[in-house]
Chain A
Amino acid sequence: MAPVASRKTLIGGMTVIGLVMLWFGLTTLTGLVTSARFPSPAEFWLSLKQINGRGYAGSTLVSHAFHSLKLVLMGFAVAVLTGVPLGLWMGWSRRVEAFVNPVFLIIRPIPPLAWIPLAILWLGLGDAAKILVIWFSAFVPSVINAFTGVRNIDKPILEAARMLGTPRWRMVREVILPASLPMIFTGLRLSLQASWTTLVAAELVGALVGVGFVLNMAQQDIYPGMILVGMVTVGILGWVTTLLLARVERRALAWNVAARD
């Protein structure tokens, strides 16, 4: 296996180096791409220095990033804590499913981002509106996957638990929940992704602080260096949170064959 992996790393590394050289060549060396279109490496570096030192759009990059991260985590947490139990309940009880499903079918086709104007109308440009839209967007994948998780549990597993005389609450905690956990985590991954998309969009539409706000200001100032800084930050934040979630998942699903492979 080792040669395959190192071949991959080699080609991947060469690609990245080649790309950086291409970037440098097109912007700085030849000027084929002007700095009004895309920043040169030097401009990118200067923008990064500026936002870390003097700050941009009201504060430093770290505090913008921290603010966005905080909102995503809060919205995500609210969505998961409401969505997963609802999904589990709908999966468990056909009655609850029948009751909730039509409402769900009506609301679901509305893209999460379409809630942004309404959230701003209701709650203004502050944090509350952002948490509300993140909730709406991250809620649906959590519900659907928890629901599917329960419905896809192997029937013999449930029968085995009933045969052993498992009481109701223990059934939920020790059978239904762990059995649905792989699907629940699939939902959480989608929810997290949706949270970031929604937050960035909401901050682009209207905000006073945050990574999306940096992007928004940089766009208005026609400041490509800072746009790139904002985008890289969005990417890194998304990457780090996804990585953390994957780590939690690996730990929680240590028993799962599929998760190991």
Chain B
Amino acid sequence: MGSISFRNVDKVFGQGTGGVKALDDINLDIADKEFVAIVGPSGCGKTTCLRMVAGFEAASAGSVLVNGRPVTAPGPDRAVVFQQFALFPWKTVRENIELGLRNKNLPVGERNDLVASALKLMNLETHVEAFPHQLSGGMQQRVAIARAYVLDPEVLLMDEPFGALDAQTRVVMQEELVRLARHNPRTVLFITHAVEEAVYLADRVAIMTRRPGRIKEVLDIKAVRERENWDSHARIEDVMDLESFVHLRTHIWKSLREEKGFKDV
């Protein structure tokens, strides 16, 4: 089980008159095993939404619920994949993936099995004993995803996870994430500023306004995807060529462009 709810959430940074309102009355419900992407202009507070679910920030007003319970602190039930990977440079690939399981006090045998399957899932078997700095950016992000997946979290929070990767690696990772998400669905909250990425990956896309961020529109991608059978195309460029994809993408672009100051982005 893993559902996420934002109920009338406000977020203000700073205090008193110097305070800046980052989020204004956010309402969003994400169902169990649903993949929702939030897109919006830079600085609209989309990352703040994710950080509140993760428990790194508290809402100034309203509530953030996971499975109906308010979030109080970070925890392994809500695994985060960071944009800058945030791997522990002094730990090998295995040790990075293993830490969360050790924190759960799982017995060694079970731990090893889980690590092995996570390594297999993300094609990391040949780099088990490598240190992060010996890996390419794409490989590092695989480790970060494996570290999150291995915990079998109720909710997976991905904060522009492919933002730091080069274009080609990015495409490969997007395809792999689609493969993972379709075959082994999780509740995912995915933050990105890349419109194509959001449409390609998500079941629903929420579009945010400029600061103070509000949710402007939520698009149902899944209905279109299933109707037009996107998943019969293995490659991202083939999906992106489909008329239905182009239509959704253009719609989101127009919606973003309406935002005041779009050209500053």
Contacts and interface: CB of A to CB of B under 8 A. Distances in A.
B249 to A, nearest CB: 30
Given A164-B103, A164-B151, A165-B103, A178 B75 contact: no
B79 A163 contact: yes
A159 B86 contact: yes
A175 B88 CA distance: 8
Contacts of B82: 156, 159-160
Contacts of B79: 163-164
Query: Chain A interface: which size bin?
Result: 20 to 34
Q: Which of B55, B56, B147 neighbours the largest number of chain A CB atoms within 10 Å of its CB?
A: B56
A160 B88 contact: yes
Interface string A50-90: 00000000000000000000000000000000000000000
A204 interface: no
Interface in A128-166: 154, 156-157, 159-166
Interface in A213-261: 254-257
B133 interface: yes
A165 B75 contact: yes
Contacts of A159: 54, 56, 74, 80, 82, 86
B76 interface: yes
A162 B74 contact: yes
Given A157-B88, A159-B74, A166 B99 contact: yes
B104 interface: yes
Contacts of A175: 88
A255 B86 contact: no
A65 B84 CA distance: 50
A170 B90 contact: no
A181 interface: yes
Given A165-B103, A255-B131, A255-B133, A160 B76 contact: no
A230 to B, nearest CB: 42
Contacts of A170: 102-103
B100 interface: yes
A210 to B, nearest CB: 39
B231 to A, nearest CB: 30
Given A159-B82, A160-B82, A181 B90 contact: yes
Nearest to B73: A162
Interface of B: 54-56, 73-76, 78-80, 82, 84, 86-91, 99-100, 102-104, 131, 133, 147, 151
